[in-house]
Amino acid sequence: MKSKPANNIQDLQFFGEFGGVNPSISDSSTYTFLSANSMSETFEGNIEGCYLYSRNSSPSNLYLEEACAALEGTEAANVFSSGMGAITATILQLCKSEDHIISSRTVYGGTYAFLKNFTPQLKIETTFVDITSLDDINNSIKPNTKIIYCEVSSNPLLEIADLKEISKIAKKNNIKLVVDNTFTPLSVSPAKYGADVVIHSLTKFINGTSDTIAGVVCSSKEFIHSLRDVNDGAFMLMGTTMDSLRAASVLKNMRTLHIRMKKHSENAMYLAESFEKDGIKAVYPGLKSHPSHKIFSKMMNKEYGYGGMVTIDAGSLETANKLMEKMQDKNLGYLAVSLGFYKTLFCAPGSSTSSEISDEEQEKMGLNEGLIRFSVGLDQDISRTYEGIKKCLKEFNLI
Ligand SMILES: *Cc1c(COP(=O)(O)O)cnc(C)c1O
C-alpha cells in the first residue's frame, strides 16, 4: 500500500491534446469507431482505452478518477454527480432484497434517510449501531449482513470509527466495509486499514470551492467495473454521471488539497483548543479530551492533522441560532450547511443537516439541539477570528 497520498496525486502526469499543462476536456457525449467490431467489444466492456458513451465513462472523468484512486490508494475509482449518488449506487450494488446492513447511527442525514426510509421498501434492512462499540457491531451481525457502513469521523458528532478493528470484524464475517471519508481526506486513508469501498462527497473539502455537487467511489477494479456494467451496474443504470467540464474543474481544485487540508486542520485545532480553554464544550478529534483521540492519532497521516470540523454546544437551539446570526453579521463565517470552503461555515445540525433524524433518536445519540458544527475556513489569522467569536460568545453569556 502506498502511504503518501499527496505525492501519489502529484506524480500523475496528464498532458492536454496540444501539450497543455492541464488535460484537454472531453466535450463529447459519444465517440466514433473506425471498425464496427470494436464498437460491439467496447459495449461488452472488453476494450481498455475505448470510449462508447459518456454516461459510462469519459476521458476527463477518468483523469479525476485516477487522482481519486491515488488519493485513497485504491486500484480504481468512479466519479458521480453527487456524494449521495456515490453512496446509493454503492449500497444498491452490494445489497439485494432480503439483505442486511449495519450502519453507524451517526452518519450524514441523507445517508441515514436512505437507510432508514428508502431501502426498507426494497426489503433491505439496516441496524443502526454505536460505531465506537465493537461489541455492538459484533452483536448485530446476521447471516444476511452484506455491509458495515460508517464515516471515519461521523457527521455531526465527530465519533471516530476504529477502522482497523471494524475491518477485522468485516473480513471475518465476509462483509464489505464501506467508509465515507468526506470529513477527513488525506488525513485518513481507510483502504490502508481494510476498507473495501471508500466514498467521498467531492462537494466538500476535495473540490473546496463550494461551486458544485460531486461524489466518488474508490475501490477495487472489480467493484468499479461492476458499478459501470451496462447490464446490472447501479452507476450505469441509475445514470448519476458527472459532467466532463465539471470533472476537469474538480481535478484542478484537487491540486491544492494537501495545502488546504493542513490549513483547515491547523485552524480547527486552534479554535477547538481556544473554545476548550475558555470553558466552551468543544468536540474535536485533535483534543485530548476527545474519547477517540488516541485511535484517530494512530490512524492518521500526521502531516494533515485532525481535519477541519469542530463542534461546540451552545446549550439551546435559540442561543445557537442567535450566536450564528451574530457571527455571520461580524463576517466571521457564513451561516450555511456544507463544508470545506475557504470561509468558515456553521450550522445547527439538529435542525438542518441531520433533521432527517427524529428528535427522539437525536437525543439517544447525543445530538443536542444547541450543537453548532463548524467547518473551519482557511483564515490567514485564526487568532483574530477567535477574538471575534469570543466577543459573540460573551454577548450571549456563554463565557
Ligand atoms: C455532504 C455529504 C454527503 C452527501 O454528498 P452530496 O455531494 O451533497 O450528495 C455524504 N456524506 C457526508 C459525510 C457529507 O458531508
**Going by CA atoms, what residue is nearest to atom 8 of ligand 1?**
83
The reply to whether ligand 1 has any atom less than 6 angstroms from the CB of 205 is no
15 strand-pairing partners: none
Burial (CB < 10 A; 0-12, 13-18, 19+), residue 116, is middle
Instruction: Indicate if the pLDDT at residue 86 is higher than 80.
Output: yes
Q: Output the pLDDT for position 30.
A: 93
* 156 cis-preceded (ω within 30 degrees of 0): yes
- Asked whether 325 and 283 are in contact (CB, 8 A), the reply is no
With a pLDDT cut of 90, the percent of the chain lying above it is 87
Q: Output the pLDDT for position 364.
A: 81
Weakest mean pLDDT among 50-54, 349-353, 379-383: 349-353
The reply to whether ligand 1 has any atom less than 6 angstroms from the CB of 179 is no
Which stretches of the chain are assigned E, i.e. beta strand? 76-80, 100-104, 125-129, 145-151, 176-180, 197-201, 215-219, 282-283, 309-313, 334-335, 345-347, 371-375
Domain made up of 5-254: CATH architecture: 3-Layer(aba) Sandwich (3.40)
> Apex CA 23: angle with CA 31 and CA 12, to 5°?
115
Mean pLDDT, rounded, for 195-210: 98
- Asked whether 349 and 371 are in contact (CB, 8 A), the reply is yes
Domain ranges of the chain: 5-254, 258-395
The residue behind cell 485504491 is 74
Instruction: Indicate if the pLDDT at residue 195 is higher than 90.
Output: yes
pLDDT band, very low/low/confident/very high, at 46 (cuts 50, 70, 90): low
Can you tell me the distance from the alpha carbon of 8 to that of 310, in angstroms, rounded to the nearest whole number?
28
Residue 175 CA, ligand 1 centroid: distance in Å: 23
Q: Estimate to the nearest angstrom the gap between the alpha carbon of 333 and the chain centroid.
A: 22
Can you tell me the distance from the alpha carbon of 34 to that of 368, in angstroms, rounded to the nearest whole number?
62
The reply to whether ligand 1 has any atom less than 6 angstroms from the CB of 167 is no
Which residue type, as a one-letter code, is found at position 323?
L
Q: Output the pLDDT for position 9.
A: 94
Mean pLDDT, rounded, for 310-328: 96
| Fold of domain 258-395 | Aspartate Aminotransferase, domain 1 (3.90.1150)
Residue 30 CA, ligand 1 centroid: distance in Å: 30
Can you tell me the distance from the alpha carbon of 399 to that of 381, in angstroms, rounded to the nearest whole number?
22
With a pLDDT cut of 70, the percent of the chain lying above it is 98
Residue 182 CA, ligand 1 centroid: distance in Å: 7
The reply to whether ligand 1 has any atom less than 6 angstroms from the CB of 181 is no
The reply to whether ligand 1 has any atom less than 6 angstroms from the CB of 266 is no
What the block records as the C-alpha cell of 158 is 465527530
Residue 325 CA, ligand 1 centroid: distance in Å: 24
User: Which of 108, 198, 347 to probe ligand 1 with, by most ligand atoms within 8 A of CB?
Assistant: 108
**Going by CA atoms, what residue is nearest to atom 5 of ligand 1?**
83
Weakest mean pLDDT among 8-12, 37-41, 143-147: 37-41
pLDDT digits (tens, 9 = 90+) for 90-114: 999 999 999 999 999 999 999 999 9
Q: Pick 157 or 191 by higher pLDDT.
A: 191
- Asked whether 398 and 315 are in contact (CB, 8 A), the reply is yes
Q: Output the pLDDT for position 317.
A: 94
Weakest mean pLDDT among 44-48, 292-296, 376-380: 44-48
pLDDT band, very low/low/confident/very high, at 1 (cuts 50, 70, 90): very low
Mean pLDDT, rounded, for 157-168: 97
The 3-state DSSP class for residue 326 equals: helix
Residue 333 CA, ligand 1 centroid: distance in Å: 20
The reply to whether ligand 1 has any atom less than 6 angstroms from the CB of 110 is yes
Ligand 1 nearest atom to the CA of residue 86, by list position: 9
> Which stretch of DSSP H or E encloses residue 101?
strand 100-104
Residue 396 CA, ligand 1 centroid: distance in Å: 32
Can you tell me the distance from the alpha carbon of 140 to that of 181, in angstroms, rounded to the nearest whole number?
23
**Going by CA atoms, what residue is nearest to atom 7 of ligand 1?**
83
Going by their DSSP bridges, the two strands 100-104 and 125-129 should be labelled as parallel
User: Which of 160, 202, 203 to probe ligand 1 with, by most ligand atoms within 8 A of CB?
Assistant: 203
pLDDT band, very low/low/confident/very high, at 380 (cuts 50, 70, 90): very high
Weakest mean pLDDT among 7-16, 134-143, 182-191, 254-263: 7-16
User: Which of 153, 155, 357 to probe ligand 1 with, by most ligand atoms within 8 A of CB?
Assistant: 155
Q: Output the pLDDT for position 361.
A: 83
Instruction: Indicate if the pLDDT at residue 3 is higher than 80.
Output: no
Which stretches of 106-225 are assigned E, i.e. beta strand? 125-129, 145-151, 176-180, 197-201, 215-219
**Going by CA atoms, what residue is nearest to atom 1 of ligand 1?**
201
pLDDT digits (tens, 9 = 90+) for 224-275: 999 999 999 999 999 999 999 999 999 999 999 999 999 999 999 999 999 9
Residue 37 CA, ligand 1 centroid: distance in Å: 41
**Among candidates 375, 382, 394, which has minimal Cα distance to 334?**
375
Going by their DSSP bridges, the two strands 145-151 and 100-104 should be labelled as parallel
